[in-house]
Amino acid sequence: MYKKIQETAAWLKTKMPTHPTTAIILGTGLGRLAEEIKVTLTIDYKDIPNFPVSTVEGHSGCLIFGKLGEKDVLAMQGRFHYYEGYSMKEVTFPIRVMYEIGIKTLFVSNAAGGTNPDFEIGDLMIITDHINYFPEHPLHGPNFPTGPRFPDMHEVYDRELIRLADSIAAEKGIKVQHGVYVGTQGPTFETPAEYKLFRIFGADAVGMSTVPEVIVAHHCGIRVFGVSVITDLGVEGKIIEVSHEEVQRAADAVQPLMANIMREMINRN
């Protein structure tokens, strides 16, 4: 696998018009942040050697190189999920490649179900910590030489970036929440009992991505900032039937606010 990662990185280096140190993973319903980027190169995942291909509706499946404001960035428009049938090594393959091409800071976004009774649909939750509830760990197997065998996880989400996000949100009058994100394998949305269990665990939101990517980024020494859009509620008395399409619509509705914070963070970082 490590040889394939290096092959992919070497191939990308021959194509890259710039050398960004900042990358963004655009999650469900949040892919339109790409419209904020002045694109210099777009590469379909299917054209990248060894890269998986996204199968989820709403995920475009391409790498974008360009500028967000004044900063060179790399954006993943569409991510890979364990529930699609990929191994965790495949899910996190792009993060390993990012490290090899020089990425230092990673911004991740996702849609999530809120388990905190103080949350409302449309809230932006800055991720302060996570719970890994996937059946396979992304660092399972031989250790990659990018980090230690037993990584410390006490500060996975960069505190300076969180403070910067809070400051920007306050300046712009954007309401933000803070909370713990629990990552599950999916593809089913949670039952009421599962929502209740995750709340007992200490989770404020639950989703089907992000945690494996963040673990691998942290293993590589990449700084991480994460934000969830609360697209449905797993709170007793507020749980209703939900579909993927409804999640996308709810995420789309608040995408401009998330884009506003991300844009400013990237340009000030």
Domains in the chain: boundaries: 2-268
Q: Give the homologous superfamily in CATH for domain 2-268.
A: Nucleoside phosphorylase domain (3.40.50.1580)
Neighbours of 140 (CB within 10 A): 9
* Cβ contact 67:38 at 8 Å: yes
The pTM of this model reads: 0.91
Digitized pLDDT (tens) for each residue of the chain, 269 residues in all = 788 999 999 999 999 998 999 999 987 656 667 788 899 999 999 899 999 876 655 556 889 999 988 899 999 988 889 898 999 999 999 999 999 999 999 999 998 999 999 998 889 999 999 999 999 999 999 999 999 999 999 999 999 999 999 999 999 999 999 999 999 998 998 998 999 999 999 999 999 999 999 999 999 999 999 999 998 887 776 666 666 676 677 677 778 888 888 889 998 87
Evaluate whether 27 touches 250 at the Cβ level (below 8 Å).
no
266 φ, ψ to 5°?
-65, -40
Q: Is 21 exposed, middle or buried (0-12, 13-18, 19+ CB in 10 A)?
A: middle
Residue 171, judged by CB atoms within 10 A of its CB (0-12, 13-18, 19+), counts as exposed
Token duo for residue 190:
């949670």
Provide DSSP, 75-140: EEES---GGGT--HHHHTHHHHHHHHTT--EEEEEEEEEE-STT--TT-EEEEEEEEE--SS-TT-
Q: Which of 156, 163, 196, 190 is nearest to 178 (CA)?
A: 163
Token representation of residue 28: 């469900």
pLDDT of residue 97: 97
Cis peptide bond prior to 187, omega within 30° of 0: yes
CA gap 21, 41 in Å, rounded: 16
